[in-house]
Amino acid sequence: MPQPKPHVEMYTDGACSGNPGPGGWAYILKHPKSRRVQERSGGERATTNNRMELMSVIEGLWSLDGACRIDLYSDSQYVCQGLNEWLDEWIARGWKRPRNASIRNLDLWKLLDELRRPHTLSCHWVRGHNEHPENERCDRLAVAAREEFSP
């Protein structure tokens, strides 16, 4: 019998000043069984908020050593709706939206699709700036990363 995938909680956030403008992303990984916590952030000089929201998830997935059962918490409806509703439909349509419309940030969505495949991923939307401790921490990390790229 195969071993169950380890459970991980992932909290993510992105921040951008201007759209486009300098941006930052951040994630927190919590491993409930080992109680290990990992935080990481980064940014870009010229980007958009949605790209930073996607990068926070991508970077979090990249950091995992193997297949996991992930509960992802994000305040981005763009990320949650994309993962929960749109992504599989886009793939089935040959990476197109209804009426053959193009997908914004297609490069990141394709990468996110590739990185999510070994995992069991459940995305949960949380209201931003609503005293959710991990979301607030991710926001502070993303904003600090964004500031490193601000003029």
88: phi > 0 → left, psi -120 to 50 → alpha, else beta; which?
Answer: alpha
Hey, where are the domains in the chain? Answer: 7-147
Q: Check 23, 42, 53, 82 and give the catalytic one.
A: 53
Measured in degrees and rounded to the nearest 5, phi and psi for residue 78 equal: -60, -50
- Chain segment 72-109, per-residue pLDDT in tens: 999 999 999 999 999 999 999 999 998 888 999 999 99
CATH topology of domain 7-147: Nucleotidyltransferase; domain 5 (3.30.420)
- Chain segment 95-146, per-residue pLDDT in tens: 999 888 899 999 999 999 999 999 999 999 999 888 999 999 999 999 999 9
Q: Check 60, 75, 82, 119 and give the catalytic one.
A: 75
Is 53 a known active-site residue? Answer: yes
d(CA 4, CA 121): 14
